[in-house]
Chain A
Amino acid sequence: MEFSIYDLTSFTQWIDSSLRASISPGWAVAIEMIIIGLAILIFFALVGLFLVYAERKVCALMQNRLGPNRVGPAGMFQTVADLVKLLFVELVPIKNADKKLFNLAPFIVIIASIMAIGALPFAKGLHAIDLNIGVFYLMAVSSMGVIGVLLAGWSSNNKYSLIGAMRSGAQIVSYELSVGLALVTMVVLAGTMQLSEIIEAQRWGWFIFTGHIPAVIAFVIYIVAGTAETNRGPFDLAEAESELTAGYHTEYSGIKFALFFLAEYINMFIVAAIAATVFLGGWMPLHVYGWDGFNKVMDLIPPFFWFLGKSFGVVFIMMWLKWTFPRLRIDQLLTLEWKFLLPINIFNLLLMALLVLIGWHW
Chain B
Amino acid sequence: MDNIQLAATAAVLAPGSETVQGKQFVEITVAPEFLVSTATALKQNHETRFDMLVCVTGVDWGKELGTVYHLRSTVFNHMIILKTKVSDRENPELDSLCSLWPAADFHEREVYDLLGMKFRGHPDLRRLFLDSTWGYPLRKDYKDDINILAK
Asked whether any CB of A lies within 8 Å of a CB of B in the complex, the reply is no
Residue positions of B touching A, CB distance < 8 A: none
Residue positions of A touching B, CB distance < 8 A: none
